[in-house]
């Protein structure tokens, strides 16, 4: 007859196995969602196009930011929205902001109706900033322009902020699908899970900790 100690050990092993299996299934599901969204998301005509910020160098967009601005200009000129919103603050020592840099680039490239919101050091801060502006002006929908693997989290945060959002992922640049690798997918899966499990409950881990994509 098995001893009570053996029974407890057996139960503990079953619990641990179940937790490990559930964790694996959750990770696989989240990774699949991030990957599928990156590869299949389609923008729809909306009230505004929102360009999420990325690094800029004294008013010059980084390659990541430039790719987002190019995509925003493309869909604006194709009539997906009547206005473009650039969003993003600055880092200590910067003389300008990501939003201002983006606006200047877009206007130089014949995008006329551009609003800059110079707030946001990560995706959640930026989302709250542009969502507040949209709702204040009675707008309800947006196309978020960002990196492909970033689309799911960016859209999820927008929906949570009360904005109906689709995504138009970049087609070129270092974070496009043919340039970014498994590392970005894994990193963004972690950031997405951190947001839906903790961030929604007020425990937020900044992008600058989880991921470099802003």
Domain count within the chain:
1
Q: Binning pLDDT at 50, 70 and 90, where does residue 213 land? A: very low
| Nearest-angstrom CA–CA distance, 88 and 110 | 21
Give a yes or no: residue 33 inside a domain. no
CATH (domain of 50): 3.40.50.620
Q: Binning pLDDT at 50, 70 and 90, where does residue 4 land? A: low
**Mean pLDDT across 192-210:** 78
**pLDDT one-digit tens code per residue, 10-67:** 677 777 767 776 677 778 889 999 999 999 999 999 999 999 999 999 999 999 999 9
What is the CB-side half-sphere exposure of residue 203 using CA atoms within 13 A? 6
Give a yes or no: residue 107 inside a domain. yes
**What is the percentage of the chain residues whose pLDDT exceeds 70?**
91
Residue 83 belongs to what domain range? 38-210
Least confident range of 15-24, 78-87, 146-155: 15-24
Give a yes or no: residue 22 inside a domain. no
Give a yes or no: residue 119 inside a domain. yes
Whether the CB-CB separation of 154 and 165 falls below 8 Å is answered with: yes
Structure-block tokens of residue 205: 């881990």
Give a yes or no: residue 90 inside a domain. yes
**pLDDT one-digit tens code per residue, 160-169:** 999 999 999 9
Enter the pTM of the model: 0.87
Q: What is the DSSP string of 74-140?
A: HHHHTTS-S-EEEE----TT-SS-HHHHHHHHHHHTT---EEEE---SSHHHHHHHHHHHHHHTT--
**Mean pLDDT across 111-126:** 96
Inform me whether the pLDDT recorded for 214 exceeds 60.
Answer: no
Give a yes or no: residue 32 inside a domain. no
Give a yes or no: residue 116 inside a domain. yes
Count the Cβ atoms, other than its own, within 10 Å of residue 163. Answer: 23
Position 81 scores a pLDDT of 98
Structure-block tokens of residue 102: 């983006």
Position 208 scores a pLDDT of 56
DSSP 161: T
Give a yes or no: residue 12 inside a domain. no
Whether the CB-CB separation of 53 and 91 falls below 8 Å is answered with: no
């Amino acid at each position: 007859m098995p001893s009570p100690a053996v029974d407890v050990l057996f139960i503990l092993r079953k619990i641990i196995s179940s937790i490990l299996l559930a964790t694996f299934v959750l990770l696989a599901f989240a990774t699949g969602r991030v990957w599928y969204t990156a590869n299949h998301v389609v923008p729809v005509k909306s009230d505004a196009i929102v360009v999420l910020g990325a690094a800029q160098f004294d008013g010059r967009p980084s390659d990541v930011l430039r790719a987002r601005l190019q995509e925003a200009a493309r869909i604006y000129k194709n009539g997906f929205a009547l206005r473009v919103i650039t969003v993003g603050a600055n880092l200590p020592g910067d003389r300008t902001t990501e939003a201002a840099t983006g606006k200047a680039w877009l206007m130089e490239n014949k995008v006329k109706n551009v609003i800059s919101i110079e707030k946001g050091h990560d995706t959640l801060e930026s989302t709250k900033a542009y969502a507040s502006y949209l709702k204040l002006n009675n707008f309800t929908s947006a196309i978020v322009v960002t990196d492909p693997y970033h689309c799911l989290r960016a859209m999820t945060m927008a929906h949570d902020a009360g904005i109906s959002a689709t995504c138009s992922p970049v087609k070129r640049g270092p974070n496009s699908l043919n340039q970014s690798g498994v590392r970005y997918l894994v990193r963004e899966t972690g950031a997405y899970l951190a947001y839906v499990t903790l961030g929604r409950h007020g425990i937020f881990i900044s992008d600058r900790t989880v991921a470099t994509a802003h």
